[in-house]
């Protein structure tokens, strides 16, 4: 399977769509929807009231919509990887690992604050890289700020996206105060409209949900076998893929090295979010999946002998089948 997705053609994309749906078959058959999510922002609460509440009587429909969004995320970022030449040749390994590992837990397939955060990060990363060669990036900078502000209104801990955007800006472009101001104005714009709406409807208590309340603590995951197994299944390919990338980094162009640096910073940001006081649950690990899948694809792409990456993928599938059907 790993060798099959080491190439990129339309047939592979069709097979990947069918395979990803098969991974989620237990969710489509027996899935249930949660009532609340930890650390949900004001924007998500409004979205839940307007749209998501309608799906509680039809969880299959929400899982189907979520899967289509996940598939679009995976293909979009895989196209970004191939266009930026982050690897010596084109492949679909990122999309394969992202769809495979995101099927491990039902909570990673709901339209949750964490899910929407990943969706916005998919929009941010390609637009951010475009700044490298632009002479007048004001429009893109403003849109990046707006996307970051929308993400943090949906998920409170996404405020950490702002320092990541600043670091990315300083990495890709010479420092200019005007560009930093444009980014900050765009980030605050969604908050301006949200606070204005709360003022008009006289609901200042809702506006307080926009404020981050950080307190660092160890993540309180349930020490059960499934969580340990999922953690090992994810971390081993990430670590081995990171070693592969580090060994190959000196052969890359300057922009490619910068992009890998941004992906590594995004992984650190996701790890940092896990230590926030709110949202400490297995659900938040989905934030790691998007940046981690870049390193998983390196874990499978670079070895000439694909036996160990293929074995690891089949172990993940076997664990998923045993957990859901046995």
What's the token pair of residue 240? 């081995």
Q: Which residues pair with 286 in a beta bridge?
A: none
DSSP state, 253? -
Tokens at residue 207, please? 């506006």
- The pair phi, psi for residue 40, each rounded to 5°, is -70, 135
Q: Give me the tens of pLDDT residue by residue for the chain, a chain 326 residues long.
A: 788 888 777 788 999 999 988 888 877 776 665 656 666 777 887 777 777 666 666 677 778 888 999 999 999 999 999 999 899 989 999 999 999 988 887 777 788 888 888 899 999 998 999 888 888 888 999 999 999 999 888 887 788 888 999 999 999 888 889 999 999 999 999 888 888 888 888 777 777 777 776 666 666 555 566 777 888 888 999 999 999 999 888 888 888 999 999 999 999 888 888 777 554 566 677 888 899 999 999 999 998 888 999 999 999 988 887 776 66
Question: Domain spans of the chain?
Answer: 4-325
Q: How far apart are CA 70 and CA 113, in angstroms?
A: 14
Listed residue (161, 158, 208) closest to 183, CA to CA: 161
C-beta of residue 176 within 8 angstroms of C-beta of residue 135: no
Identify whether the C-beta of residue 287 lies closer than 8 Å to the C-beta of residue 118: yes
CA angle 173, 273, 320 (to 5 degrees): 110
Collect all residues with Cβ–Cβ distance below 8 Å to 223 and sequence separation of at least 6: none
Give every CB contact of residue 231 below 8 A, 6+ residues apart in sequence: 285
Nearest CA-CA partner of 292 in 45, 142, 94: 94
H-type helices in the chain, by residue range?
A: 10-23, 25-30, 42-50, 59-83, 93-102, 113-130, 138-154, 161-172, 177-200, 204-207, 225-248, 254-274, 286-301, 307-325
Cα–Cα–Cα angle for 120, 124, 130, nearest 5°?
A: 160
> Is residue 23 within 8 Å of residue 318, measured between CB atoms?
no
Q: Would you say 183 and 145 are in contact if contact means Cβ atoms under 8 Å apart?
A: yes
Q: Are 80 and 126 within 8 A, CB to CB?
A: yes
pTM reported for the whole predicted model: 0.89
Residue 195 burial (C-beta neighbours within 10 Å; 0-12, 13-18, 19+): middle
């Amino acid at each position: 399977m790993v060798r099959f997705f080491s190439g990129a053609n339309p047939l592979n994309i069709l097979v990947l769509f069918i395979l990803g749906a098969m991974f989620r078959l237990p969710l489509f058959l027996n899935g249930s929807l949660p009532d609340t999510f930890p650390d949900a922002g004001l924007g998500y609460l409004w979205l839940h009231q307007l749209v998501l509440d309608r799906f509680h009587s039809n969880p299959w429909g929400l899982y189907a919509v979520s899967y289509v969004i996940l598939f679009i995320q995976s293909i979009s970022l895989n196209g970004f990887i191939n266009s930026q030449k982050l690897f010596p040749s084109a492949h679909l390994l990122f999309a394969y690992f992202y769809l495979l590992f995101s099927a491990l837990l039902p909570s990673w397939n709901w339209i949750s604050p964490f899910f929407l955060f990943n969706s916005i990060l998919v929009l941010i990363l390609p637009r951010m890289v475009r700044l490298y060669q632009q002479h007048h990036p004001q429009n893109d900078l403003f849109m990046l700020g707006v996307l970051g502000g929308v993400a943090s209104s949906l998920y409170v801990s996404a405020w950490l996206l702002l320092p990541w955007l600043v670091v990315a800006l300083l990495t890709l472009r010479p420092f200019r105060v005007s560009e930093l101001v444009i980014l900050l104005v765009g980030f605050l714009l969604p908050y301006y409209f949200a606070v204005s709406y709360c003022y008009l409807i006289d609901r200042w208590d809702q506006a307080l949900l926009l404020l981050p309340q950080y307190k660092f603590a160890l993540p309180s995951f349930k020490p059960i076998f499934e969580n340990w197994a999922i953690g090992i299944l994810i971390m081993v390919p990430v670590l081995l893929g990171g070693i592969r990338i580090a060994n190959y980094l000196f052969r890359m162009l300057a922009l490619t090295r910068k992009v890998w640096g941004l992906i590594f910073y995004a992984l650190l940001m996701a790890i940092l979010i896990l230590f926030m006081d709110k949202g400490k649950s297995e659900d938040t690990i989905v934030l790691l999946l998007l940046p981690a899948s870049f390193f998983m694809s390196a874990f499978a792409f670079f070895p000439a002998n694909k036996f160990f990456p293929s074995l690891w993928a089949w172990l993940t599938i076997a664990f998923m089948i045993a957990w859901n059907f046995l």
